Amino acid sequence: MTLQHTISLVFFLLFSSCTQQEPQPRLGAQVEEYTPKVAQGYLIEHSYYTLSYSSTHRQAEFAYYFLSPASIQGGQSRTDDFRVDPKVKSNPVKSTDYQGSGYDRGHLCPAADMALNLTSMSETFFMSNMSPMLPSFNRGIWSKLEDWVRDSALQEGGVFVVTGPVLSKSCGSIYNQSITIPCSYYKIVFTGGASPKMLGFLLSNAGASGSVQQFVVSVDALEQQTGIDFFPQLEDALEQSLESKVSLSGWSF
């Protein structure tokens, strides 16, 4: 082998190695972003979702992400590695802070939505992504709504999701931890494209039965309760049309 061939082979191997180690793009990086406008707290961007953390309430006011079929069908199992979010600037929550409270460490961005790979799954177990949910709520109607969102994402080829607690009204706090217990939670799903549609849900932090359809509300109503501007990037007329009314057209229940 000539010296020139040897040098060419070395450069090829180095280039191939760098290519293989190149990090994956953020999920949804190829689609338009619709990050909500913060009402309180500050934005924290993780690899696969964004949240706005309130140090006062010691939880996020919202979690936002694009939910793709690939993320749902990735096959990554739960990691259950609950831990402090290193990006939280003050009043971080530890994995043990809910202990003995009677409340679940309820996911805002669900683990089952982030089965793409180990990083996406593990990031959902940052305590900044948790909120105090009654077990009957978290494992019941809330879980049912999360299933519906995943079904919708599979049918639509992906949906934008915003979810969080309503922090304007408190139902107490976890003793000695100053973690606000929300009285209710919301979730919003949105599809863009040629025929955009949007649907909001508002549920009390309590056990419930029946269809998730009964909890549908307008996004305007959610903005009034939370103080959050959810889709400020939309053209004004379209934003007004989508957020001001409740339309079940095009959604399957």
**Residues in the chain, pLDDT under 50:** 3, 6-31
Nearby residues of 232 by Cβ (< 8 Å), 6 or more positions away: 36, 37, 239
Q: What is the pLDDT of residue 12?
A: 40
Contacts of residues 114-118 at CB distance under 8 Å and 24 or more positions apart, as own/partner, are 114/48, 114/49, 114/71, 114/74, 114/76, 115/71, 115/72, 115/73, 115/74, 115/75, 115/76, 115/77, 116/27, 116/48, 116/70, 116/71, 116/74, 116/76, 117/24, 117/74, 117/76, 118/76, 118/79
In a 3-state reduction of DSSP, which class is residue 141? helix
Tallying the residues shown for the chain, one arrives at 253
In a 3-state reduction of DSSP, which class is residue 129? helix
198 vs 178: CA distance, rounded Å: 34
Detail the DSSP E strand segments found in the chain: 42-45, 50-54, 59-67, 104-107, 130-133, 159-165, 170-174, 179-182, 184-191, 197-204, 216-217
In a 3-state reduction of DSSP, which class is residue 99? coil
Out of 3.40.50.970, 1.20.1440.230, 1.10.10.10, 3.40.570.10, which CATH number does the structure's domain 35-244 have? 3.40.570.10
pTM: 0.87
What residue spans define the domains of the chain? 35-244
Q: Where are the alpha helices (DSSP H) in 63-138?
A: 69-72, 118-123, 135-136
Q: What is the pLDDT of residue 168?
A: 94
Q: What is the pLDDT of residue 29?
A: 42
Q: What is the pLDDT of residue 8?
A: 45
